[in-house]
Amino acid sequence: MDTKTFAELGLSQKVQAAIAAAGYSSPTPIQAAAIPVAVTGRDVLGIAQTGTGKTASFVLPMIARLETGRARARMPRSLILAPTRELAAQVAQSFEKYGVNHKLDVALLIGGVSMDDQVRKLDRGVDVLIATPGRLLDHFQRGRLMLMGVEILVIDEADRMLDMGFIPDIEKICNLLPPRRQTLFFSATMPPEITRLVNQFLRDPERIEVARPATTAKTITQSFRFCPESEDWVKREMLRDMIRADNVKNAIVFCNRKRDVAILLKSLLKHGFNAGALHGDMDQKSRMETLDRFRNGDITILAASDVAARGLDIPDVSHVFNFDLPWQSDDYVHRIGRTGRAGREGTAQSIVTTEELKSFKDIEKMLGETAAWIGEPPSEQDFADAGKRRRGRGRGGRTGAPRESGRGDRGDRGRSEGGRQEGRRTAGPSHGGERRNSASQASAPAETSRGADAKPPREGGREQRRPEARRDGAKPQQHAKAPRPDTADPRTEARREERPVQQAPRARPPRAPDSEPSKAAVGAFAGNVPAFLRRPPRPVKAASE
């Protein structure tokens, strides 16, 4: 479109006055194309790169449409879904800036803050409800919110919703809304899942695409620096050199992991940089305080995870550094989009290790242009070795060593358990039937030598696991005889041989019930028989009697 002023976009006088008071005179391409369609009440599918003013593209027409009407308790008139707390809070600030001439009630439902204050706002009635999907469903399931009065639905940063796993929540929320509504759908990229969502919930939308999906702003100067070493301390030293070498007014440094953000912050503070951190493990109050300090200039370098990559409007960021290349090439666009916003000049520099060369090739392919390198670029051999090395705290030589995984632990544990099981068995390994038979035959003489009164060993019995020699402290190997070739298990035979052989009791001749015990038997056992068991001698009858 050739529209050059906001007055030609169909906005009300109050909205135009608020725009002029904010210091804006001409709309961006996405604003000039989307606002006239949105004011008419038609669904809009907006595709534009980050930093092009997508937020104002739906905030301004929403304010114009909500000028008439009144909100009822627990029934918001419009709903805006944002993927992160920071982006939701930023949208709320946009309503405060552009809605100064309107009496619109705005509620912000995000995690990390008290739910009681949010409930009180919902009870009074809100015109605009800005929420993250999780907190919105939480309020709805508690019966504190009704969605049948929503007239306008806005889904912002839809591709980021997909990355964060919010698509099932978005589908659930859309099914709770009335079918006769206006839907404004904004995204920087259009993966297949987002296309399916658009086809499902938008009615004949006006597709507005002001730039090729996943492209970067032309005002951003991009460059890469190759780091042949994979150690983090080498990358941190390289990052400090890059910050000192360029005229850095303020910068955001992106890491892939939250723990690396904390380590990088500690390193920057140690070397005298004025730095702060922003990642997902911080509570909401600390996040907002850190962002405010960065906007005000109290912090010049912000180490952040991807929680800060989407939608944050920090107007004057001079540099963006990628300490780690993002795993998804689309995230690269959103990261460097924190600089060069609203037509300003910006610089984006990225550190690339050998392990990240594959991700670099994906980014270069997406950008459609040859990358500019700072210093020596990687060689063809480096590209050939891409992905073969694993990142670690040690040097590259460590990567060739065998990985210390749970497999070895399980193997040791299996061997120790197998040893205990062999100690319980009396017939050798369980998987050889012939061995069990031979072992039982070999152990038959030993069993008969114990005597008929000896108890037969139980299967897995304790007698063989803890022999008498071990109780005395003697080592089994000291008395073990050489195993016979026909035995199944030498260790079992050694334990059997070292057990003292019990002598079978001598057989006694049968005694008549009324006969007197023999003198030999009395002499041998009389002293050992208790008195109460002794049978008194019967008097001998005379022959005459």
Whether residue 182 is predicted with pLDDT greater than 50 in this model: the reply is: yes
As a whole number, mean pLDDT of residues 113-131 equals 93
| DSSP secondary structure letters along 266-309 | HHHHHTT--EEEE-TTS-HHHHHHHHHHHHHTS-SEEEE-GGGT
| Extended strands (E) in 83-147 | 106-109, 128-131
Whether residue 395 is predicted with pLDDT greater than 50 in this model: the reply is: no
pLDDT at 314: 78
Domain boundaries, the chain: 6-209, 220-393
Pairing of strands 206-209, 220-227: unpaired
**Which pLDDT tens digit goes with each residue over 15-48?**
999 999 988 888 988 999 999 999 999 999 999 8
Whether residue 465 is predicted with pLDDT greater than 80 in this model: the reply is: no
Classify residue 400 by its DSSP letter: G
**Which pLDDT tens digit goes with each residue over 498-544?**
455 555 555 555 554 444 444 444 455 555 666 666 666 666 555 54
Secondary-structure percent of the chain, ordered helix, strand, coil, rounded to 5: 45, 10, 45
Q: What is the 3-state secondary structure (H, E, C) of 16-54?
A: HHHHHHHCCCCCCHHHHHHHHHHHCCCCEEEECCCCCCH
Q: What are phi and psi of 457, to 5 degrees?
A: -65, 140
Q: What are phi and psi of 301, to 5 degrees?
A: -125, 125
Q: What is the 3-state secondary structure (H, E, C) of 477-488?
A: HHHCCCCCCCCC
Taking each helix axis from N to C end, the angle separating 85-98 and 13-22, rounded to the nearest 10 degrees, works out to: 110
Element of type H or E holding 349: strand 346-353
Low-confidence winner among 191-205, 354-368, 395-409 (lowest mean pLDDT) = 395-409
Element of type H or E holding 240: helix 232-245
The CATH fold of domain 6-209: Rossmann fold (3.40.50)
- Pick the residue with more confidence: 388 or 232? 232
Taking each helix axis from N to C end, the angle separating 329-336 and 357-367, rounded to the nearest 10 degrees, works out to: 70
Domain 220-393 top-level CATH class = alpha beta
Long-range contacts of 530-533 (CB under 8 A, 24+ apart): none
Find out whether 109 and 80 touch, Cβ atoms under 8 Å.
no
Q: What does the block give as tokens for 51?
A: 């930093």
**Is 220-393 in the same CATH topology as 6-209?**
yes
Residue in the block written with tokens 């989407």: 310
pLDDT at 537: 64
As a whole number, mean pLDDT of residues 424-443 equals 42
CA angle 226, 227, 230 (to 5 degrees): 145
* Residue 542 identity: A
Measured distance CA(108)–CA(84) in Å, rounded: 12
Q: What does the block give as tokens for 263?
A: 């380590």
Q: What does the block give as tokens for 61?
A: 């027409």
**Which pLDDT tens digit goes with each residue over 129-150?**
999 999 999 999 999 999 999 9
Residue of 47, 30, 49 whose CA lies nearest to 218: 49
Q: In what order do the strands lie in the sheet with 78-81?
A: 106-109, 128-131, 78-81, 152-155, 182-187, 44-47, 206-209
Residue of 303, 296, 299 whose CA lies nearest to 278: 303
As a whole number, mean pLDDT of residues 319-332 equals 89
